[in-house]
Amino acid sequence: MNRLVKEKVFLISITVLSLLAILPLFHILFSVTVNGLPVLVKGGFGFLTGTLASPGDGLGGIGVAIVGTFVLVFLSSLIGLPIAVVAGIYAAEYPNSAIGRLTKTLLQIMLEFPTILVGLFVMQIIVVPMGNYSALAGALALAIVMMPYVAVSTEEAMKEIPFTYREAAFSLGLTRFKVVFRVLMGMARKGVLTGILIGMAKVAGETAPLLFSAGGASRVYFMGIDKPIGAIPLLIYNLVQQPYKNYHQIAWGAAFVLMLIFLAIFIPIRLKIKEVKI
């Protein structure tokens, strides 16, 4: 009897703690939806394509920021994903080498590294020499932020594959390159893709690095990688500091759109990719 009571107390405790852990997430989703959805409905399609309204003069649109976010995520993925995947593979395949241990240590450090310092670093090496903010600087800053998430997920996904599969592939006479990229990467694709999605979601919502690199734009669409560019998080950051009521409404609407972008990318792919049984 005493054992049954302890088991029920344990299960109830775990359930309550689990609910408390996910409660902040649902609170965020609820708050953003309640405050942002009416703004999107009121603004209509023009809210997604137009430019920022003047202070106290309606909603206008956040089209510039939406385009800027997609451009920055695309460019940062183009820069960061190949490097991150290769780094994760190297750390998994050569865990005992000096470079492998150093790579893993640096990746763990970068996961906790303040992103605002990344923005300052990129400002010194790109913004200052160029003399202006740019999409290139913003993309590089986001790529640096993205890489550790993708690399660590790739490493963990590769390490979960039993060594017997490597032995079987090598016994067929395959080179290490073919074993890794034709056999193991296919089996680890769910973990790798999850890391990519986490990395993309992370940089899509980043603000601090862009303050010192992208510069921001709210009324001019993308003009080139050497020009300042807007982004939804940067727009939200700037609007909430303004004293105008319509800017606060636009910020809520932009937050709702950002949440929709993340969910539209993450949920379908997570449902489509099946777990590989090994």
C-alpha torsion 165→167→173→176, nearest 10: 80
Query: Which has the higher per-residue pLDDT, 153 or 58?
Result: 153
Q: What is the mean pLDDT of residues 94-101?
A: 85
Q: Does residue 83 register a pLDDT over 50?
A: yes
Mean pLDDT of the chain: 87
pLDDT in tens, 186-217: 888 888 888 888 888 889 888 889 999 988 88
Split at pLDDT 50, 70, 90, the class of 174 is: confident
pLDDT of residue 277: 44
52 DSSP β-pair partners: 60
Split at pLDDT 50, 70, 90, the class of 269 is: low
pLDDT in tens, 22-59: 898 889 899 999 999 999 999 888 889 888 888 878 88
Of 80, 197, 82, the C-alpha closest to 140 is: 80
Split at pLDDT 50, 70, 90, the class of 1 is: low
pLDDT of residue 34: 93
Domains of the chain, earliest start first: 63-272 (1.10.3720.10)
Split at pLDDT 50, 70, 90, the class of 165 is: confident
Q: Does residue 252 register a pLDDT over 90?
A: yes
pLDDT of residue 142: 95
Kindly tell me the sign of the dihedral angle through the C-alpha atoms of 133, 137, 139, 142: negative
